[in-house]
Amino acid sequence: MEPTKNVEIEQKHVERRMDSGMVASTFIKYAAYIVIFFGFLYFLVRYVFPMF
């Protein structure tokens, strides 16, 4: 007969906290950067480059 083994099992509970408002605001911020960048490129191609 085997003696009873006392084994402690470590359990980890991982909670993912995702603030949807934070994700949405970050997406809007970077989308605005992209729109401004392409607007600037459009301005260069349409108005500045034809001057040369």
Q: Please work out, in degrees rounded to the nearest 5, the angle formed at the alpha carbon of residue 45 by the alpha carbons of 39 and 49.
A: 140
Q: Which two tokens stand for residue 28?
A: 């809007």
28-51 pLDDT per residue, tens: 999 999 999 999 999 999 999 898
Could you give the CA distance from residue 36 to residue 33 in angstroms, rounded to a whole number? 5
Torsion of CA 27, 30, 36, 37, to 10 degrees: -140
4-31 pLDDT per residue, tens: 777 788 888 888 777 888 899 999 999 9
DSSP 50: G
Q: Where are the domains of the chain?
A: 22-51
Give the pLDDT score at 46.
Answer: 95
